[in-house]
Structure 1
């Protein structure tokens, strides 16, 4: 719970706790935060992981960068301030989903360590799992699924991560995956194995 400068806003206590919601779903809620360059495979991997979790009868919700900008964050641009606000809102939303007992999958470039740390600090230790989709820039640019790198190289897009805006590589991610050298199936299994090893997934 983050602080509110308005002293007239009082936190309302719920009758049903996060523990009760989690036990009902037979899982330990957490945020799986997929970070990496554009074209690294974040969304594809997050989608595949969610599908596997669904098949295993777990309760999930997937938040994707582009999709969220069509609704919740459609008022934000791509300035440094707007990008930080984008992640702040997603972090708060993800924390609410964790409180509901869900496994949250969030796929966002989120290039700055301070932003990712901000989201990590919104939940309890062990509830934020940083998945660095560590696909090299060369592979991402070769894929260029949305043609954004081509536009960035031509100067049509400014402040594009990896070209004229920095990406701060995670220093100690819980999981690191290079989708240019590892299959999607193996990558999904790597994440599922981590979740089982850390008792996030329980027998249903």
Structure 2
């Protein structure tokens, strides 16, 4: 983060954000879902997307795994590469919000500093951090990809929750205890968080 704002040298379009939001009948914003692998980020992101679609609201999901198969396929999992992955995701999320879309972003985003960077890129008025609070034991039990087992066997370096830390948000807009709440209850709370 820098102490001074960078000049906005982007090309200006002929349709304003306000016009897009008026057309969409909603405010563009970003819900940033953070938590350990297995906490339910992707599951909830897509469940919320389906519910918002049923309600006639325009939304999109940015899923960490999906971005790593395309836009961020060139990045590894070092701290610097993870930071760049999140920076790119934040820039894309910001673009969606500026078009009047609800962007649901599902990323582990394990550090305070990286999430602060995301908030700065997106803009604090458009950003809501949602912490999916789920114990490591439950996350490991849900691990359909076998990632935790591979990390414990030393096959995956810097795996969040095992060999790399996860720093829970200090003041998230919403905390969801995903080990005890149903998907439906979580989705309802996420909709209320959107306002």
Q: For residues 108 and 94 of structure 2, what CA distance do their matches in structure 1 show? A: 18
Q: For residues 38 and 73 of structure 1, what CA distance do their matches in structure 2 show? A: 18
Between Structure 1 and Structure 2, how many residues are aligned? 191
1:104-159, Cα deviation, whole Å (9 max, x unpaired): 01100000111111111123433101110111111101111210000111111110
1:101 alignment partner, SS class: coil
* 2:117 aligned residue: 118
Q: Which sections of structure 1, spanning at least 5 residues, go unmatched?
A: 197-204
1:22-66, Cα deviation, whole Å (9 max, x unpaired): 111011111010100001110000110111100000011111011
Q: For residues 125 and 169 of structure 1, what CA distance do their matches in structure 2 show? A: 19
* 1:192 aligned residue: 191
2:122 alignment partner, SS class: coil
What stretches of structure 1 move > 4 A for 4+ residues in a row? none
Q: For residues 187 and 168 of structure 1, what CA distance do their matches in structure 2 show? A: 21
* 2:28 aligned residue: 29
Q: CA deviation at 1:179?
A: 1.3
1:144-191, Cα deviation, whole Å (9 max, x unpaired): 121000011111111000001010100000011111111001110111
* 1:43 aligned residue: 42
* 2:143 aligned residue: 144
Q: For residues 84 and 117 of structure 2, what CA distance do their matches in structure 1 show? A: 11
TM-score (norm 1): 0.90
* 2:57 aligned residue: 58
Q: For residues 76 and 126 of structure 1, what CA distance do their matches in structure 2 show? A: 29
* 1:181 aligned residue: 180
Q: Which sections of structure 2, spanning at least 5 residues, go unmatched?
A: none
Q: For residues 12 and 94 of structure 1, what CA distance do their matches in structure 2 show? A: 18
Q: CA deviation at 1:87?
A: 0.2
Q: For residues 89 and 133 of structure 1, what CA distance do their matches in structure 2 show? A: 22
Q: CA deviation at 1:10?
A: 3.9
TM-score (norm 2): 0.94
Q: For residues 99 and 3 of structure 1, what CA distance do their matches in structure 2 show? A: 18
* 1:17 aligned residue: 16
Q: CA deviation at 1:14?
A: 1.7
